[in-house]
Amino acid sequence: MPVNAPIRVVQWATGSIGRYALRSVLNRPGLQLAGVLVYDPDKTGKDAGELVGMPPTGVTCTDDVDQVLSLDADCVLHMPLPAFSFGTDQTSDVETICALLASGKNVITTTGFVYPKSYGRGVVERVEAACAAGDTTLHGTGINPGFMSDFLPLALTGLSDRVDHIYVRESSDFRGHPSRQVVVDLVGFTRSAKDYTAAVRPYRMFQRSLFAESVQLVADALDVRLDEVEESDDFELATREFEIAAGTVREGTVCASRWVFSGLVRGRPFMTIEVVYKADAARVPRWPDPGFVLHIEGVPHMTLSVDEVSHGPAAAAAHAINAIPAVCAAPPGIRTLLDLPFATGRGRVRLR
């Protein structure tokens, strides 16, 4: 890429997060939109600017994967819903990402891959081979988890003399989230208890794989060998009907869920992530209010809280957008938070 040339970016998927990312690409100096991949037939053939209420860009949205693979671009912002939500397993996401990497495009994805090592050696070898073929880099930023459950714990342990236990709580309010695909089909709100229990089985596997990435990443950074990552989950039913942006939550249907993921060492939790989703926090009193809490037990004890993130999708999009220059400049291969030059509490863990 010539010096001072703009970074040519492809936006892959234009859901609630993808649209924020697309708007940022169009507004950011140093970035140039090279293409847009869409899944909705109604978006195909439209100018990219039209999707986000901006002037025409001259870039037409397409659903043709081969066309996108052939584009001259430096980076792809890969932001679709996870493959399992379309009835396939994670292998489909791996295949897509590897094809993009092998075509000579760096990839930043929100579908996981924060720490691909947790998926096993086979996935790592496939991705590394694609990176070698395309002279490219893969970086996963995640959505949830991502940043709060991996970046912040690692940053804060730089102040630790000893780390005994790391606890992270993420509580999210979906009242204003506009996507039925996410709120209803993925998270499961508005479903009956029976339908939710059946639908959550593949979602449970997806959630476990995602949060295990963050737990494993933090543990490896601190030189802790986990025995396993344990998962438990529960849900709450609405006591009355109410409206949210994604639809109607009727009495007796699922309106909240709680997930707990614990990385265990000799039966004791080393890192615990508690995740709470609420259809409308004002109408669901059970479980903690929206916000983020990080507590590190050790020397010293530390607690950090973020009371509000006003728009989660915008934050998730910005996390990926802000990584573009560093990813495009990085050596080929998988690049995680552990490749970034900041201090952690490595070597300061004392197991009880």
Tell me the mean pLDDT in the region 152-167: 93
Whether pLDDT at 306 is above 90:
no
Tally of CB atoms within 10 A around 266: 8
Q: Which of 264, 266, 151, 260 is nearest to 208 (CA)?
A: 260
| Domain annotation for the chain: domains and CATH numbers | 7-142+316-339 (3.40.50.720), 151-309 (3.30.360)
User: Which is nearest to 214 in space by CA: 182, 262, 174, 171?
Assistant: 262
The predicted pLDDT at position 81 comes to: 82
3-state secondary structure of 45: coil
CA-nearest of 24, 97, 36 to 67 is 36
pLDDT value of position 6: 96
Read off the pLDDT band of 351 (50, 70, 90). Answer: low
Q: Where do we find the tokens 């003399």? A: 161
Residues 38-55 have a mean pLDDT of 96
In contact, 60 and 35? CB cutoff 8 Å:
no
Mean pLDDT, the chain, whole residue set: 90
Q: Point out the least confidently predicted range of 60-74, 120-134, 198-212.
A: 198-212
Rounded to an integer, the average pLDDT of 258-278 is 96
Q: Identify whether 145 is preceded by a cis peptide bond (ω within 30 of 0).
A: yes
Q: Is the pLDDT of residue 341 over 50?
A: no
258: pLDDT strictly greater than 50: yes
